[in-house]
């Protein structure tokens, strides 16, 4: 599904990613953990195509195709989804209108007709139930005045609507209380299939109790310094990131 | 690399051609340039006006001669040479007695280009339309349907002849001849415009609409619109404007007067898309317009405007809330791009008790444009319990444009409640990236964000107009992220 090879990236001449290698296969869940400033959010932004970062070296392949030169919307059309750590507000644009535009632009790019209104409605109903979202919420302006938890739940709702091949969840657990966390995790689990893949970026092990990863990677100073199974997350929780730091600096 | 940068966007935006910039070659009858009493008399004579109308014009002209152009607005431009303009231009083949079928085919072709084919208009059955090209009203549709309800909707030149009692009673009562420099000029030389009268208790069954177009070079357009809603009546009125692209500046100085008698309601919507000039700021229409409405007891006037065109706009649709419990509303979207300058807003003059006014202004600036909101809320000593709410929001695109807000408040009554809110924001790269990530290309993302920003005002427009207005916003603003 996703294959990242020797990825180097910088912002304003400061190198943030220093040679990332990552292989994610369909049906897998990968967790990327690491201390603040390790480059976790940078990595997710770069996969999504944020042009504020400059890729200086390396490749990002999605299903065998190098996507590193594609515009962010083109990557989205190919099935890349990023659940933002800080979703932005768009005043006056309702969640429904935004989703409708998003889905139809994606369909248009893929040579499909616009989604018929009744189908759209059905999809909205189904997915809002999955995320336990009150449908009144969907006529509110996108993220405007949403609580932290509502914003994150709305991100996962969008993921459910778009049904991406590759979903990257950037700190989706931050700002969620335990009930919301369960709902969001449950949503993600239900969306998981053998045909798609999920990358969970998180600081804490908490979310991984609900979304169980097949692989855990530790990102430190722009590199993946450790990879393992789900038990690595527990070990990290126990020993703290200082353990990694000491190991690296030793 | 398929990276679509802000610079690419800017270039594309600047190169966007003005969509309505064509010129139709219709034989016109145009007066020699210049302005003096003889020209004023000639206009009046040409239009076969009664003596009182000629005198009224002459009075206005004499007042205008003594006046100077205002310069308090936040706009900079070379003052037009009023002696270098022709004050009357009429498509030659138009005869006021002709029916639609006789209208010059070239004119009809022009309407088609404008997307307002009269045939279609006829079929749509809910908009009655008066079209003013250069200075003359060309055709008024639906006259018969309206007449059955006693509604008069016709060119003002016709109203002067056929309904002199109404015109004489109301013309200049809201915007007097000497109100301001441009209003005085208009009063002297106006050649046509629309007139509308809704009888007592009648709810106008369709939207009334006027389409203005300047076609002839070197002419000014001075329309005069007079709308009278008699007691307890209702009317929704639409106005659209375009002009061909020309290197020289063209002058447009209109006057619109609305009169809402007791319990009447007038909704007046404008989509103004005069040629804004090219990307270097050459050419474009100078739009100096005086619009004002008078509300009697329990009456309501609502102005809604979408202003995307003109090189320079100077326009303040206002309400005089004379009657007790009357309501004035102003909803505005003003878009400026490249070198456009807009100084627009409203005046709400509260004279009666329990009068209410609402002002929602959305300014969108891109390129090197300057966009100013200027508003006055005036509460007179006897206007007990007057209320005003004003909200002025500005959206900036790029780093070379400006947004300015000049709210004036004058209250002489301590029971008044006046609220003013203002915000300024920029379309953020993060907003655009968020949309991109959801598969929405940048152009579409900006349209979405701008429409969201303008929604409160767009929602006030009648359906057919809202769609056109949204498209206009997209055309005027595609690109320009900062």
- pLDDT tens for residues B239-268? 876 655 555 667 888 999 999 999 999 999
Entry field: residues in chain B: 482
Quick count: other Cβ atoms within 10 Å of Cβ B387?
18
Q: Which residues of A touch B456 (CB under 8 A)?
A: 92
Nearest CB partner across the interface for B436, out of A76, A101, A141: A76
Q: How far is B315 from chain A (nearest CA, A)?
A: 26
**Residue A3, token pair as written in the block:** 């294959």
Q: What's the CA gap between B166 and B358, in Å, rounded?
A: 30
Helix (H) or strand (E) holding A106: helix A95-109
**Residue B364, token pair as written in the block:** 């969108």
Q: Is A162 close to B438, i.e. CB distance below 8 A? A: yes
Entry field: residues in chain A: 250
Q: Which fold has domain A2-249?
A: Rossmann fold (3.40.50)
| Predicted confidence (pLDDT) at residue B27 exceeds the cutoff of 60 | no
| Predicted confidence (pLDDT) at residue A82 exceeds the cutoff of 90 | yes
pLDDT band at B163 (very low <50, low <70, confident <90, very high): very high
Q: Is A76 close to B2, i.e. CB distance below 8 A? A: no
Listed residue (B421, B2, B438) closest to A88, CA to CA: B438
| Predicted confidence (pLDDT) at residue B36 exceeds the cutoff of 80 | yes
pLDDT band at A27 (very low <50, low <70, confident <90, very high): very high
Mean pLDDT of chain B: 81
Q: How far is B365 from chain A (nearest CA, A)?
A: 17
CA B286, B288, B289 angle in degrees (round to 5)?
A: 140
pLDDT band at B213 (very low <50, low <70, confident <90, very high): low
pLDDT digits (tens, 9 = 90+) for B460-482: 887 767 777 777 777 777 555 54
Q: Is A30 helix (H, G, I), strand (E, B) or coil?
A: strand
Quick count: other Cβ atoms within 10 Å of Cβ B55?
12
- List the single residue in B with minimal CA-CA distance to A141: B452
Give B357-412 as a DSSP string. Answer: EEEEEEEEE-TT-EEEEEEEEEE-TT-TT-EEEEEEEEEE-SSS-EEEEEEEEEE-
CA distances from B214 to B219, B249, B251 (A): 8, 12, 9
Q: What's the CA gap between B340 and A169, in Å, rounded?
A: 44
Which has more pLDDT, A19 or B113?
A19
Q: What percent of chain B has pLDDT over 70?
A: 78
Q: How many pairs of residues across A and B have Cβ atoms under 8 Å apart?
A: 84
Listed residue (B202, B274, B197) closest to B20, CA to CA: B274
Predicted confidence at residue B55, as pLDDT, reads 94
Q: What's the CA gap between B355 and B170, in Å, rounded?
A: 23
CA distances from A147 to A151, A196, B479 (A): 6, 29, 31
- List the single residue in A with minimal CA-CA distance to B426: A90
Q: What's the CA gap between B109 and B370, in Å, rounded?
A: 35
**Residue A88, token pair as written in the block:** 């932005």
Task: Outline where DSSP puts E strands in B277-386.
Answer: 284-295, 300-307, 312-315, 318-321, 327-336, 341-350, 356-365, 370-379
Nearest CB partner across the interface for A73, out of B436, B452, B456: B436
Interface check for A92 against chain B (CB to CB < 8 A): the answer is: yes
Q: What's the CA gap between B389 and B288, in Å, rounded?
A: 26
Q: What's the CA gap between B237 and B307, in Å, rounded?
A: 16
Q: What's the CA gap between B29 and B89, in Å, rounded?
A: 6
Predicted confidence at residue A108, as pLDDT, reads 95
Average pLDDT over residues B26-51: 81
Distance of alpha carbon A164 from its chain centroid, rounded? Answer: 10
Helix (H) or strand (E) holding A215: strand A215-220
**Residue B341, token pair as written in the block:** 């300058």
Query: Where exactly are the structural domains of chain A?
Result: 2-249
Q: Is B448 close to A101, i.e. CB distance below 8 A? A: yes
Nearest CB partner across the interface for B431, out of A82, A88, A162: A88
Interface check for A44 against chain B (CB to CB < 8 A): the answer is: no
pLDDT digits (tens, 9 = 90+) for B427-454: 888 999 999 999 999 888 988 998 899 8
Listed residue (A211, A106, A240, A86) closest to A162, CA to CA: A106
């Amino acid at each position: 599904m996703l294959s990242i090879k020797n990825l180097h990236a910088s912002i304003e001449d400061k190198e943030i990613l220093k040679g990332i290698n990552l292989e994610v296969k369909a049906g897998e869940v990968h967790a990327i953990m690491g201390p603040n400033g390790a480059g976790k959010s940078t990595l997710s932004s770069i996969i999504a195509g944020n042009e504020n970062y400059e890729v200086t070296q390396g490749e990002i392949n999605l299903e065998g195709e190098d996507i590193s030169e594609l515009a962010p919307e083109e990557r989205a059309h190919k099935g890349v989804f990023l659940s933002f750590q800080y979703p932005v507000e768009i005043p006056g644009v309702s969640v429904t209108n935004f989703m409708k535009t998003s889905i139809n632009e994606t369909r248009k790019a893929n040579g499909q007709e616009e989604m018929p209104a009744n189908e759209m409605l059905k999809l909205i109903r189904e997915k809002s139930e999955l995320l336990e979202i009150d449908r009144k919420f969907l006529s509110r302006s996108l993220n405007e005045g949403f609580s932290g938890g509502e914003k994150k739940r709305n991100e996962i709702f969008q993921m459910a609507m778009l049904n991406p091949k590759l979903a990257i969840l950037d700190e989706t657990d931050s700002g969620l209380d335990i009930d919301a966390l369960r709902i969001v995790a449950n949503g993600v689990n239900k969306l998981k299939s053998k045909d798609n893949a999920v990358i969970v970026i998180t600081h804490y092990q908490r979310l991984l109790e609900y979304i169980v990863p097949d692989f855990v990677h530790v990102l430190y100073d722009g590199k993946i310094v450790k990879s393992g199974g789900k038990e690595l997350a527990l070990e990290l929780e126990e020993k703290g990131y200082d353990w990694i730091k000491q190991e690296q600096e030793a | 690399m398929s990276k679509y940068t802000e610079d690419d966007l800017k270039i594309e935006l600047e190169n966007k051609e003005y969509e309505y910039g064509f010129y139709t070659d219709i034989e016109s009858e145009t007066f020699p340039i210049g302005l003096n009493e003889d020209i004023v008399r000639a206009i009046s004579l040409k239009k076969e006006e009664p003596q009182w109308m000629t005198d009224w014009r002459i009075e206005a002209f004499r007042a205008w001669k003594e006046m100077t152009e205002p310069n308090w607005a936040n706009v900079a431009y070379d003052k037009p040479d009023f002696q270098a303009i022709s004050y009357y231009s009429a498509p030659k083949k138009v005869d006021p007695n002709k029916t639609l079928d006789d209208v010059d085919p070239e004119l009809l072709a022009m309407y088609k280009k404008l997307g307002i084919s009269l045939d279609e208009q006829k079929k749509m059955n809910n908009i009655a339309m008066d079209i003013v090209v250069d200075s003359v009203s060309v055709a008024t549709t639906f006259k018969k349907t309206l007449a059955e309800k006693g509604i008069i909707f016709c060119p003002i030149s016709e109203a002067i002849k056929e309904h002199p009692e109404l015109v004489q009673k109301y013309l200049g009562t809201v915007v007097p001849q000497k109100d301001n420099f441009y209003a005085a000029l208009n009063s002297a030389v106006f050649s046509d415009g629309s007139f509308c009268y809704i009888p007592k208790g009648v709810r106008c069954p369709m939207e009334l609409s006027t389409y203005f177009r300047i076609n002839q070079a070197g002419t000014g357009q001075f329309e005069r619109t007079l709308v009278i809603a008699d007691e307890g009546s209702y009317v929704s009125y639409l106005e659209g404007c375009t002009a061909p692209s020309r290197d020289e500046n063209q002058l447009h100085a209109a006057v619109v007067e609305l009169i809402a008698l007791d319990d009447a309601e007038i909704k007046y919507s404008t989509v103004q898309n005069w040629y804004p000039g090219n990307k270097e700021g050459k050419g474009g229409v100078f739009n100096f317009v005086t619009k004002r409405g008078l509300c009697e007891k329990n009456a309501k006037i609502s102005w809604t405007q979408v202003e995307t065109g003109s090189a320079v706009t100077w326009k303040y649709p206002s309400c005089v809330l004379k009657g007790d419990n009357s309501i004035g509303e102003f909803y505005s979207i003003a878009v400026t791009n490249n070198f456009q300058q807009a100084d627009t807003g409203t005046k709400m003059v509260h004279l009666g008790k329990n009068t209410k006014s609402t002002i929602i202004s959305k300014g969108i600036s891109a390129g090197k444009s300057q966009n100013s909101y200027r508003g006055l809320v005036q509460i007179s000593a006897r206007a007990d319990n007057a209320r005003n709410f004003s909200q002025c929001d500005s959206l900036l695109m790029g780093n070379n444009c400006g947004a300015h807000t000049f709210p004036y408040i004058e209250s002489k009554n301590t029971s008044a409640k006046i609220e003013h809110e203002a915000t300024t924001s920029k379309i953020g790269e993060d907003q655009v990236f968020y949309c991109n990530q959801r598969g929405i290309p940048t152009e579409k993302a900006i349209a979405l964000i701008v429409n969201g920003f303008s929604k409160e005002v767009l929602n006030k427009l009648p359906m057919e107009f809202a769609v056109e207005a949204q498209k206009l916003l997209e055309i005027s603003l595609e690109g320009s992220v900062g």
